[in-house]
């Protein structure tokens, strides 16, 4: 017999290292003598889209296209330290460092333009498509190349996240900032004869602060949900007396595209007051609610609560038999 059930789970996640630990990112912005724009930062790109986000932030501030940004990262001989690609911190921490560097570079460009155009101040100057121009009189303009033909413009900025170490006696403090929130709902189908569990539908509501790149966010949600599904239903290293038995993909099962359902993805925007353009980090939060939502749905379907994962077909059948012995439905 196949039974269906629904379950939800919610989570909150603190960005960065937290608990008073110095969480520092540095970034350098440069316009070379030929007018090319460079961003140097030690942030590691591991598929989360950091390079894309940093280029978008820089392009927005300097009034250029993302393809105009030359991005240099993962090279300790050239780039300033930006901390690890961990704790969902790169968009928030390093994004803020990149934003500060781009803003400083913008300010330097406008100061150079003020002198070049013989203006009273930088007030009213705008940057667009490699030009600095006076908004009220656009003919009053100068190209980036003209401003840097004699000397390269280089600025470096640092961003340090604000966290407060928790009091050891009272437990009070502000260990993380900002917090990311999410709530997932799933529908599952449990085959009581084979023990197989299929997740047939999912709804993922994810707080992102401000969606700098909605497509990347949806991709993160898809990947995070798949990881959570594998965590809850399949992945088992088979640890026994310190030995990992499932040490290859032949016996360590992970979800495929056939295991992941169609997901309804809801992006919730509530800008963070301290994030770059209001953005928050969502790298890890997108995975957290998936497994508990699935376990809650299993309970709704067959009335059995599982406290150990993964919930494999074998464990389902054993649990059903035990419940029948105890006279439960």
Quickly list DSSP for 147-199.
Answer: HHSSS-EEEEEEEE----PPPTTT--S---SSEEEEEEEEEEEEETTT--EEE
Mark the ranges of the chain whose per-residue pLDDT is less than 70: 328-329
Would you call the peptide bond into 310 cis, given omega within 30 degrees of 0 as the criterion? yes
Please give the domain boundaries of the chain with CATH numbers for all domains: 2-14+176-325 (3.30.365.10), 24-160 (3.30.365.10)
Residue among 95, 263, 277, 73 at smallest CA distance from 184: 263
Q: Give residue 72's pLDDT.
A: 94
Q: Max alpha carbon distance in the chain (Å)?
A: 90
Regarding beta strands 153-160 and 179-191, do their DSSP bridges make them parallel or antiparallel, or are they unpaired?
Answer: unpaired
- In eight-state DSSP terms, residue 262 is P
> What span, in angstroms and rounded, lies between the C-alpha atoms of 167 and 179?
19
Alpha helices in the chain (DSSP H): 50-62, 95-117, 144-148, 214-233, 290-302, 313-325
Ramachandran area for residue 53 (φ above 0: left; ψ -120 to 50: alpha; else beta): alpha
Tell me what pLDDT residue 328 has: 53
Please tell me the distance from the alpha carbon of residue 87 to that of residue 85, in angstroms, as a whole number: 7
CA distances from 272 to 16, 23, 26, 248, 282 (A): 14, 17, 20, 42, 13
- Cα(23)–Cα(21) distance, rounded to whole angstroms? 6
Before 63, cis peptide (omega within 30)?
A: no
- Catalytic residue numbers, as ranges: 284
Sheet holding 137-143, edge to edge: 125-128, 131-134, 137-143
- Which residues lie closer than 8 Å to 243 by C-beta, 6 or more apart? none
Contact 153, 108 (CB under 8 A): yes
- Looking at residue 319, what is its pLDDT? 96
Whole-angstrom CA distances from 5 to 8, 198, 202, 228 are: 11, 11, 12, 18
> How high is the pLDDT of residue 292?
98
Task: Output the pLDDT for position 326.
Answer: 84
């Amino acid at each position: 017999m196949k039974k269906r059930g629904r379950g939800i789970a919610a989570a909150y996640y603190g960005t960065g290292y937290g608990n008073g630990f110095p969480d520092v990112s540095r970034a350098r912005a440069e316009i070379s003598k030929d007018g090319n724009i460079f961003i140097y930062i030690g942030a590691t790109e591991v598929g989360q889209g950091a390079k894309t986000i940093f280029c978008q932030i820089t392009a927005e501030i300097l009034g250029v296209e993302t393809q105009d940004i030359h991005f240099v990262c993962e090279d300790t001989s050239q780039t300033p330290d930006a901390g690890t690609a961990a704790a969902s911190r790169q968009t928030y921490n390093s994004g803020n460092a990149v934003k500060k560097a781009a803003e400083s570079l913008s300010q330097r460009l406008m100061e150079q333009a003020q002198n070049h155009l013989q203006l009273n101040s930088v007030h009213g100057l705008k940057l667009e498509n490699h030009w600095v121009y006076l908004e009220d009189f656009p003919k009053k303009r100068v190209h980036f190349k003209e401003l840097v033909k004699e000397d390269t413009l280089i600025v470096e900025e640092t961003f340090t996240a604000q966290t407060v170490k928790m009091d050891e006696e009272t437990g009070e403090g502000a260990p993380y900032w900002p917090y990311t929130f999410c709530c997932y709902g799933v529908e599952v189908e449990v085959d009581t004869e084979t023990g197989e569990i299929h997740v047939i539908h999912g709804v993922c509501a994810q707080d992102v602060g401000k969606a700098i790149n909605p497509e990347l966010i949806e991709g993160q949600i898809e990947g995070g949900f798949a990881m959570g599904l594998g965590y809850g239903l399949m992945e088992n290293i088979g640890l026994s007396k310190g030995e990992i038995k499932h040490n290859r993909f032949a016996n360590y099962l992970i979800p495929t595209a056939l295991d992941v359902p169609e997901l309804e993805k809801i992006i919730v925007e509530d800008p963070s007051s301290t994030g770059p353009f209001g953005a928050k980090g969502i790298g890890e939060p997108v995975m957290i609610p998936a497994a508990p939502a699935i376990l809650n749905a299993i309970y709704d379907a067959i009335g059995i609560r599982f406290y150990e994962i993964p919930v494999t077909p074998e464990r389902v059948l054993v649990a059903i038999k035990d419940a029948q012995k105890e006279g439960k439905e």
